[in-house]
Amino acid sequence: MSVQVSQLANGLIVVSHTMPEVETVSLGVWIGAGSRSEAKHEHGVAHFLEHMAFKGTERRSAYDIAEEIEAVGGDLNASTGVDSTAYYARVMRKDLPLALDILSDIILSPRFDPVELAREQEVVFQEIAACLDSPEDIVFDLVQEAAFPDQSLGRPILGTVASVKGFKPNHLGAYLSAHYHAPNMVLAAAGAVEHEALVAEAERRFAALDISPTMPPTTAVYSGGFRRMDKSFEQTHIVLTFEAPPYRHADYFTAQMLAGVLGGGMSSRLFQEVRERRGLCYSVYAFSSGLIDSGMFTVHAASGPERAHELFAVIRDELVRAAEHGFRPEEISRVKAQLKMGLLAGLESSSARAEQLARQILIHGRVFTTQELIEKVERIEAADIQALVERLLVSPVSLATVGPIRHVARFDAVTEKFTIPSTKAA
């Protein structure tokens, strides 16, 4: 595998994977800071900074940024997560220098023009409004708040209308100065890329990055709790979460296996029992997400308000059954095949591969070979997954619902079978 890694004098890691069969290159800069790195008064600033980076630099207007990348057929985008922020592009091989010039420009020299800032605040207000119209977005924000109360991890990435309305150029500049440092960043590229040329361009474009280390975010404290919103929707959405192993934990891949067995496809236990046998919902799924110091194992489903209590009871029963009786060999084999398929499919997408490389370096400090990852999956046994379910069920649960519940007493009776802390919030 043609993966190469270099480190610039200022600490920036440059990683690339040459894919001879493609003619385009996906590249981007990943910063090891997202919404969890915000102070309380900065709620939403990481996401707003990502927006404002495209609204003009010292050398380019917002239109210039868009026009230059699209003039060569490329595209440019960005995303903000809990623990990272990314700015990325995809271009033809000959246009890699242009893409790097634009990426470095928007990261190193954003202008934060007050007129553009006010206009973009209105855009983000609409983005927040769109989320408040989506019960699925609301319920995930609520369960995050229940799991990590009074912490940046428990607050929505977008911020609130009130917090975003208060942002001035100095707030964006302060966050950028505190977290956009070379040792906390990775430049990753995959596709039609030559590593030596990439490093040479990176040395030219990113030499001005701050070389000092950044302060790590406050340690996550998972608590668990219950949040409910009775806003009227056609369905009632339910999210059930337990604290999951963090990225570097030995059981991280075990949690991925458990998510696959319970809710990773049409043959998963929850899909078969909840949808196929009982017709309680259209969609039900499970996943496990990680952080450096914590994680969340999550089950999501939605049903009509009159059957929400039954839906939740069936999900609970399936978890208990897994803890008591374990898993069949064919289930384990199926999920291992799904995970390996996902790993191998990621190698065929230059954009997915660039992100994978960047995140591995940010989290682990190195790139894993595909064989290493496959071996991690293959080593997991049914007993490991069953033991993880047992630990989840005796840990604090986080539960969120959005939408009306017709039989509240029945629903609450089911929730009491879990260990839910006494502090409950509406």
Residue 49: partners with Cβ closer than 8 Å, 6 or more residues away = 85, 110, 172, 175, 176
Instruction: Please count the structural domains in the chain.
Output: 2
**CA-closest candidate to residue 185, choices 218, 208, 157:** 208
pLDDT for res 1: 55
| Ramachandran class of 415: left when φ > 0, alpha when ψ lies in -120 to 50, beta otherwise | alpha
Q: Determine the Cα–Cα distance for residues 268 and 147; give it in Å rounded to an integer.
A: 26
Q: Determine the Cα–Cα distance for residues 159 and 43; give it in Å rounded to an integer.
A: 5
- Token digits of residue 46: 């990481």
Contact 382, 327 (CB under 8 A): yes
Q: Determine the Cα–Cα distance for residues 38 and 218; give it in Å rounded to an integer.
A: 10
C-alpha distance from residue 180 to each of 44, 221, 351 (Å)? 16, 25, 22
Q: Determine the Cα–Cα distance for residues 46 and 43; give it in Å rounded to an integer.
A: 8
Give 239-265 pLDDT, tens digit per residue: 999 999 999 999 999 999 999 999 999
Same domain? For 144 and 268 the reply is no
Q: Determine the Cα–Cα distance for residues 63 and 325; give it in Å rounded to an integer.
A: 60
Q: Which of 205, 239, 258 is the last residue of a domain?
A: 205
The CATH number of residue 166's host domain is: 3.30.830.10
**Residue 38 annotated in active site:** no
Residue 283 lies in a domain: yes
Same domain? For 81 and 170 the reply is yes
Same domain? For 196 and 151 the reply is yes
Residue 421 lies in a domain: yes
Same domain? For 244 and 194 the reply is no
Same domain? For 32 and 171 the reply is yes
Q: Determine the Cα–Cα distance for residues 279 and 273; give it in Å rounded to an integer.
A: 8
Residue 396 lies in a domain: yes
Helix (H, G, I), strand (E, B) or coil at 67: helix
Q: Determine the Cα–Cα distance for residues 187 and 87; give it in Å rounded to an integer.
A: 10
Give 126-149 pLDDT, tens digit per residue: 999 999 999 999 999 999 999 999
Residue 156 lies in a domain: yes
Residue 121, domain extent: 3-205
Same domain? For 42 and 118 the reply is yes
Residue 331 lies in a domain: yes
Same domain? For 102 and 41 the reply is yes
pLDDT for res 425: 37
Contact 299, 373 (CB under 8 A): no
Residue 218 lies in a domain: no
Residue 215 lies in a domain: no
Q: Determine the Cα–Cα distance for residues 413 and 329; give it in Å rounded to an integer.
A: 34
pLDDT in tens, the chain (426 residues): 589 999 999 999 999 999 999 999 999 999 999 999 999 999 999 999 999 999 999 999 999 999 999 999 999 999 999 999 999 999 999 999 999 999 999 999 999 999 999 999 999 999 999 999 999 999 999 999 999 999 999 999 999 999 999 999 999 999 999 999 999 999 999 999 999 999 999 999 999 999 999 999 999 999 999 999 999 899 999 999 999 999 999 999 999 999 999 999 999 999 999 999 999 999 999 999 999 999 999 999 999 999 999 999 999 999 999 999 999 999 999 999 999 999 999 889 999 999 999 999 999 999 999 999 999 999 999 999 999 999 999 889 999 999 999 988 888 888 887 754 433 333
User: Which is catalytic among the residues 50, 68, 116, 331?
Assistant: 50
pLDDT for res 419: 55
Contact 354, 188 (CB under 8 A): yes
Residue 216 lies in a domain: no
